Homo-oligomer: A and B are copies of this chain.
């Protein structure tokens, strides 16, 4: 529809996740009218990311060297591993400042519908890390949805049978802080009951 280069750009942008044909067109025209430096900055960022960023050999998180900042940090507690689905989950947990251990990024969750099984995730790499015997606790922090729960169940069974001495824990389910009890769905409310804790004093 458009002349060569414009249509090529619209096509390429349309391949990105969450960018439909209309958004692709809008972004393309924005870039056409943008300053040359703005486009150069975007091009540089794209090129740099492919040149510099790889995945941590230890945990699978994004990294600029062989190991990510967290795995390379001797002040982190290397006896605790928090297992998450994606690098963005690491960022979310780091923001809480609650956890001083290391991570293990699976690269997704078990989803038979999408043809993703344990072999497609970094499960073998997790078992190798545990083989050293240094790790005392594995905290499973997959998403609280169908795929994440399936992954958590699979992992906790696998860990309990192969590494019996390991403490395997999961993040608590319950009412979100700042929420309204009335608006909580019944599964969440049920979990909040199930996981109720004794109040001291």
Contacts and interface: CB of A to CB of B under 8 A. Distances in A.
Interface of A: 1-6, 8-9, 11-13, 15-19, 23, 25-32, 36, 38-39, 41-43, 45-53, 62-64, 68-69, 86-88, 91, 94-95
Number of copies of chain A assembled together: 2
B5 A64 contact: yes
Which are the 3 A-B pairs with shortest beta-carbon distances?
A9-B45, A12-B45, A5-B48
B45 A8 contact: yes
A12 B26 CA distance: 16
B53 A30 contact: no
Nearest to A38: B15
B86 A52 contact: no
